[in-house]
Amino acid sequence: MESSVEADFEVHDARFAALLPPGARVEKLTTGTSWAEGPVYRPDSACLLWSDVRNNRMLRWSEDRGTTVFREPSDFSNGNTLDLEGRLVTCEHGRRRVSRTEADGTVVTVVDNYRGRRLNSPNDVVVRSDGAIWFTDPPYGILSNDEGYQAESELGANYVFRFDPVSGELDIVADDFHMPNGIAFSPDERTLYVSDTGASHSPGAPCHIRAFDVAGGRRLTGSRVFADFAPGRADGFRIDTNGNLYAGFNTGEGVQVYSPQGERIGRIRIPEPASNCAFGGPRGNRLFITASTSLYSVFLNTTAATRPS
Ligand code: MG
């Protein structure tokens, strides 16, 4: 199986080689999307959900049933995650909100404005172990009618937000991104990572992932560049139990894998622009990768970071 490893992976470090089980390979699971984003695995129904952003729908893939439509229209959904109760939390460009899907299937608004001004178009989201919802709010869904509805920004800026579902408070936690996009916590939740894809519309804007210290569970301090990859752009990313970061590059570099120290240790080759990834499967060791027209997966010797208890 040497050849398939060489075909599907670039190994830059022994730590990445150790993540690849014998015979590891990238598998294409399904195709037919226009812009695949926002994968999330639901253990309760053993399926992967993801957004087909430009086709305004969400899809569902499972080993036994293959691909079906989960929600259509989806209000141009993008990033997805699960909250502490396993409920689906979704970023929607169309309604410019973060929504939650209740157990009975009802979709409710979690948050859609900051002090009376509408959000731009929430892009990606994670839920911390205290239940707070952290999300990015770049303007991709309002720049044109391609993946939302063209409109002016009411905020005039692109923030990273923290929403407390108990108090209802929405706080700006970062205000100096061009276009904040991917977001994820380290396994101990003491570090938050956020990518900037502003170079998609502003040549020369940063192409990096920044790391922050999370102070008191609600503020960000100590901003630093975790990985710089200009002119590439890392869209979304997820983190494994050892703190390695797996970033989907919508500029064609596949999934780049970084150590917790920010060293690039390997690459998973994907034959089209990748956007995001999510761990799942019955044993949690399958990395699902959304990439433009298709959904891919690869089994790894690792699993998703789980929230601290
Ligand atoms: Mg994104």
Q: Tell me: cis bond preceding 187? Omega within 30 of 0 counts.
A: no
Please report where in the chains the tokens 């002119």 appear, as a residue: 231
**What would the mean pLDDT of 170-179 be, rounded to a whole number?**
98
CA of 136 to the centre of ligand 1 (A): 9
Q: Identify the H or E element spanning 250.
A: none
Helix segments in the chain, DSSP class H: 2-8, 14-17
**At 303, which amino acid appears?**
T
CA of 68 to the centre of ligand 1 (A): 22
**What would the mean pLDDT of 65-90 be, rounded to a whole number?**
98
CA of 2 to the centre of ligand 1 (A): 33
Q: What is the pLDDT of residues 60-74, one digit of tens each?
A: 999 999 999 999 999
CA of 211 to the centre of ligand 1 (A): 17
Tokens of 209: 């992932």
**What would the mean pLDDT of 28-42 be, rounded to a whole number?**
97
**What would the mean pLDDT of 90-111 be, rounded to a whole number?**
97
CA of 181 to the centre of ligand 1 (A): 5
| Residue whose C-alpha is closest to residue 50's, from 59, 63, 62 | 59
| Better-scored residue on pLDDT, 204 or 235 | 235
CA of 250 to the centre of ligand 1 (A): 9
CA of 231 to the centre of ligand 1 (A): 17
Q: Rounding to the nearest 10 degrees, give the CA dihedral for residues 253, 230, 256, 82.
A: -100
| pLDDT in the model for residue 4 | 46
CA of 280 to the centre of ligand 1 (A): 19
- For residues 102 and 241, what is the distance between their CA atoms, to the nearest angstrom? 28
CA 77 from centroid of its chain's CA atoms: 12
Check: CB of residue 299 under 8 Å from CB of residue 268.
no
Q: Where are the beta strands (DSSP E) in 83-124?
A: 88-92, 97-101, 107-111, 113-114, 117-118
**At 235, which amino acid appears?**
D
CA 25 from centroid of its chain's CA atoms: 22
CA of 148 to the centre of ligand 1 (A): 14
Q: What is the pTM of this model?
A: 0.96
CA of 123 to the centre of ligand 1 (A): 5
CA of 176 to the centre of ligand 1 (A): 18
CA of 1 to the centre of ligand 1 (A): 33
| pLDDT in the model for residue 246 | 98
Check: CB of residue 123 under 8 Å from CB of residue 148.
no
CA of 22 to the centre of ligand 1 (A): 31
CA of 248 to the centre of ligand 1 (A): 9
| pLDDT in the model for residue 5 | 60
CA of 103 to the centre of ligand 1 (A): 26
Tokens of 249: 């590059």
- The length of the chain in residues reads 309
- For residues 204 and 140, what is the distance between their CA atoms, to the nearest angstrom? 18
Write 26-29 long-range contacts (CB < 8 A, 24+).
26/268, 26/269, 26/270, 26/289, 26/296, 26/297, 26/298, 27/296, 27/297, 27/298, 28/294, 28/295, 28/296, 29/61, 29/67, 29/288, 29/294, 29/295, 29/296, 29/297
Q: Tell me: cis bond preceding 231? Omega within 30 of 0 counts.
A: yes
| pLDDT in the model for residue 1 | 35
**What would the mean pLDDT of 7-35 be, rounded to a whole number?**
96
End-to-end CA distance of the chain: 39
pLDDT interval class at 297 (50, 70, 90): very high
| pLDDT in the model for residue 309 | 81
Strands 191-196 vs 208-215: parallel, antiparallel or unpaired: antiparallel
| pLDDT in the model for residue 203 | 87
Helix segments in 121-278, DSSP class H: none
Determine how many CB atoms are found less than 10 A away from the CB of residue 170: 20
CA of 247 to the centre of ligand 1 (A): 11
**What would the mean pLDDT of 50-57 be, rounded to a whole number?**
98
CA of 146 to the centre of ligand 1 (A): 15
Check: CB of residue 113 under 8 Å from CB of residue 121.
no
Please report where in the chains the tokens 């599907």 appear, as a residue: 8
CA of 78 to the centre of ligand 1 (A): 7
CA of 201 to the centre of ligand 1 (A): 14
Q: Across the chain, which distance is largest between two alpha carbons, in Å?
A: 57
